[in-house]
Structure 1
Amino acid sequence: MRIEEETHAQRAQTHALNRAAFGRADEADLVDRLRADGLVRLSLVAVEDDEVVGHILFTRLPTRVDGREVDAVALAPMAVHPHWQGAGVGSELVREGLARLACEGCEAAIVLGHPGYYPRFGFSAALAAKLASPFAGEAFMALELAAGGLRGEAGEVRYPAAFGIDAA
Structure 2
Amino acid sequence: MSSNHQWLTRPEKPSDIDSVRRINLAAFETAEEADLVDALRADPAWIEGLSMLSTGIDGAPIGYALLTRCHIGDAPALCLGPCAVPPEYQRTGAGAAAVRAALSAATDHGEDFVVVLGHPAYYPRFGFGRASLHGIRLSIDVPDEALMALSLSGRPIPGGTVRYAAPFGI
Moved over 4 A (4+): 126-129
Q: 2:155 aligns with which of 134, 148, 151?
A: 148
| Preserved CA contact (<8 Å) 1:72 1:109 | yes
- Alignment-derived partner of residue 47 in structure 1: 55
* % identity of equivalent residues: 40
| Preserved CA contact (<8 Å) 2:64 2:99 | no
| Preserved CA contact (<8 Å) 1:56 1:75 | yes
* Correspondence list, 1:104-115, <5 A: 104-115=109-120
* Correspondence list, 1:10-159, <5 A: 10-41=16-47, 42-48=50-56, 49-64=58-73, 69-126=74-131, 130-134=135-139, 135=142, 137-151=144-158, 154-159=159-164
User: CA shift at 1:90, angstroms?
Assistant: 1.1
What SS class does the counterpart of residue 13 from structure 1 fall into?
helix
TM-score (structure 2 length as normaliser):
0.86
In structure 2, relative to structure 1, the CA distance for the partners of 1:51 and 1:23 (3 Å cut) is farther
User: CA shift at 1:70, angstroms?
Assistant: 2.6
- Residue 100 of structure 1 aligns to which amino acid in structure 2? A
| Preserved CA contact (<8 Å) 1:125 1:141 | yes
Aligned-partner Cα distance in 2 for 1:144–1:107 = 6
Aligned-partner Cα distance in 1 for 2:88–2:153 = 35
CA deviation vs aligned residue, 1:52-73 (integer Å, no higher than 9, x gap) = 1111110000223xxxx43310
Number of residue pairs aligned between Structure 1 and Structure 2: 159
User: CA shift at 1:129, angstroms?
Assistant: 5.1
Gaps of 5+ in 1: none
CA deviation vs aligned residue, 1:22-58 (integer Å, no higher than 9, x gap) = 1320100010111111322210111222321111110
What SS class does the counterpart of residue 71 from structure 1 fall into?
strand
TM-score (structure 1 length as normaliser):
0.87
Gaps of 5+ in 2: 1-6
Aligned-partner Cα distance in 2 for 1:164–1:156 = 15
- Residue 125 of structure 1 aligns to which amino acid in structure 2? R
